Amino acid sequence: MTDVGVTTRRREATRQKLLDAAAQVFAEVGLDAASVEAICEAAGFTRGAFYSNFETKDELFLELVGRVARERVDAVRGRVSELEREGVLTEVPADPLRIVQGVLDVSADDRLGVLLMSEIRIHALRNPALAAAYLAQEAEMLRNVEHIITDIGRAGTLRFRMPAEQCARLLLTVWENTSVRGVMAGLSNEEMCRRTNEELASTAQLLVELPA
């Protein structure tokens, strides 16, 4: 490998470590309270390493928003592809509620993930660039879940009481809200996932007309 290639890989590794550290610091104390020094300390780098990769803390935060969005969408998209390869979405599902639940579960957030997404939402309300990034990932998540619901409906024995897009939006809203409430209540990650599963199952039962 050339010297340029080695340098590029090292630089990318440094950026990823800074982003990883920033995600934890932002989630714990928020964007405004987070300092460059705290991020560098968490990543194990100097301020020089930070400023050789990012001009400002806000620039790092914006890139982190994009990474979180891609990870969330890729997780759901990957699960959809897996179900398609298995033929689950094109056959009559034995348990459609579990299918919808399972796809959302794959990217269920832990406590830090919920805190980070909440921090992103707060700042997206005031920052057009962040708002655009957040709304784009939300729209992509919605399309993926809508795709699953549409394919389940095409199996022929199930009907949904609402259009697929509305079902998807409601399920995602329940998922997000339940996760946030779980963090507020101090639930463990395991308890939060269980509570989210229960809420999704209850909501799906209201949306699906099961066969007689």
| 94/137 same-domain check | yes
Count of the separate structural domains present in the chain = 2
Cα separation, 6 vs 2, in Å, equals: 6
Residue 43 vs residue 116, higher pLDDT: 43
> What average pLDDT does this structure show over 79-83?
77
Q: Is pLDDT of 190 > 90?
A: no
The token pair that represents 25 in the structure block: 């610091």
The owner of tokens 């099961």 is: 210
Per-residue pLDDT at 102: 64
Sorting pLDDT into bands at 50, 70 and 90, what band is 98?
Answer: low
> What average pLDDT does this structure show over 183-203?
86
Question: What is the pTM (predicted TM-score) of this model?
Answer: 0.75
Q: Which tens digit of pLDDT belongs to each residue from 25-36?
A: 998 898 889 999
Residue 152 vs residue 134, higher pLDDT: 134
Cα separation, 49 vs 39, in Å, equals: 11
| 2/75 same-domain check | no
| 161/71 same-domain check | yes
Helix (H) or strand (E) holding 14: helix 3-29
Query: What number of CA atoms fall less than 13 Å from residue 37's CA on the CB side?
Result: 1
Range of the domain at 30: 1-54
| 72/37 same-domain check | no
Distances (CA, A) of 118 to 30, 64, 98, 133, 150: 9, 13, 27, 14, 29
